[in-house]
Structure 1
Amino acid sequence: MFIRHLSSRLLLTAVASVAAFAAVPGAAHADTGPIRVPPSPFGSLDGWDGGLGAVGGDHLTVSVVDAGAGKDGTSELRCDPDGGTHADPAGACRRLGELAGEGQDPFAPVPKGTYCTMQYGGNATAHVTGAWHGHRVDASYKLTDGCEIARWNRMVPVLPTTTP
């Protein structure tokens, strides 16, 4: 009798423990989010691009609207060697290299759930497409809050400076 009671109690404790563990929300653990790995310097040579489809060379199309006089339009940017119709190809390529050297993806959007200051930086928008470090790029930029303004400013001189 004692053993049967002990077995029932152990079973009940195990079931309760599993149920309690399953009820803990996923955000309760210490997750730091995805790990950002700098692009492979051989991305366009080794044929692996993280499943995005093989692309070669650093070639970007930068389109800017409503940034101010002389700053709107579409330009081409090539890196390594620097060139294209971009206003400052050497500076733009250097900035992209700095961001990558810091382990940042220069084209990543503001992470979902980020708290941003409520401020407006103007009507300017930009769209960058092409290939960089062997990966496809399709990124949009705007000045609708503090996070987006900081994201834009981090990309200067790839994107032009703006004044609201």
Structure 2
Amino acid sequence: MRTRMIPIAAAALLLGACATTSGEPGGAPSSPAGADPSPTAPPSSPTSSPTPSRATPAAVGAELTITLDETGSGTSRTLTLTCEPPGGDHPDAAAACAALALAGPTAFEAPPRDEMCTEQYGGPQVATVEGTVDGAPVSARFSRTNGCEIGRWDALAPLLGSVGGV
């Protein structure tokens, strides 16, 4: 009689396991009747705050000279820009200062020499920027000769000029 109990017990366990699967081969166990299968989020505490939206960048102090060659021919024009308050002869000093504050100090760093950049040509524009940003000296060259350079230019487009002019 004992030998018969083991197969019956094994069959009962097997049937019980089958009853809790989704019915699909390799399916996940199904929830007991009336149970909520979705995970529960932890309750929010009254002191927790929602995720803040993108903050407005802090104002940046700057005194810059931008030399821009829009055609790559060597013919350039020079613009000046000051921030805090925005000024100089830049055609949109406020937007240029806002872009500068948003881009941060890394905007003037050249891409690492070993960085892989897409081989695309964005145009003949070349710009140099010299001066100070928040008291730190900057001297940088920008172009649109590959994907990395185009990205650097686009991050500061209000400062350097969108393709087609400032």
Band the TM-score falls in, shorter-chain normalisation: 0.5 to 0.7
Mark the structure with the bigger radius of gyration: 2
Q: Who is 1:76 aligned against?
A: 80
Q: Who is 2:150 aligned against?
A: 149
Q: Who is 2:100 aligned against?
A: 96
- Residues in 2 aligned to 1:66 and 1:97: alpha-carbon distance in whole angstroms: 24
CA drift of 1:67 comes to 4.8
Count of aligned pairs: 103
Matches within 5 A, 1:120-131: 120-131=121-132
TM-score (norm 2): 0.57
User: What residue identity is the alignment partner of 1:81?
Assistant: P
What is the Cα-based RMSD across aligned positions, in Å?
A: 2.1
- Residues in 2 aligned to 1:67 and 1:159: alpha-carbon distance in whole angstroms: 13
Identity of aligned pairs, percent? 38
TM-score (norm 1): 0.58
- Residues in 2 aligned to 1:67 and 1:107: alpha-carbon distance in whole angstroms: 22
- Residues in 2 aligned to 1:93 and 1:106: alpha-carbon distance in whole angstroms: 13
Q: Which runs of 5+ in 1 are unaligned?
A: 1-40, 42-56
- Residues in 2 aligned to 1:135 and 1:145: alpha-carbon distance in whole angstroms: 28
Q: Which has the higher contact order (CA 8 A, sep 6+)?
A: 1
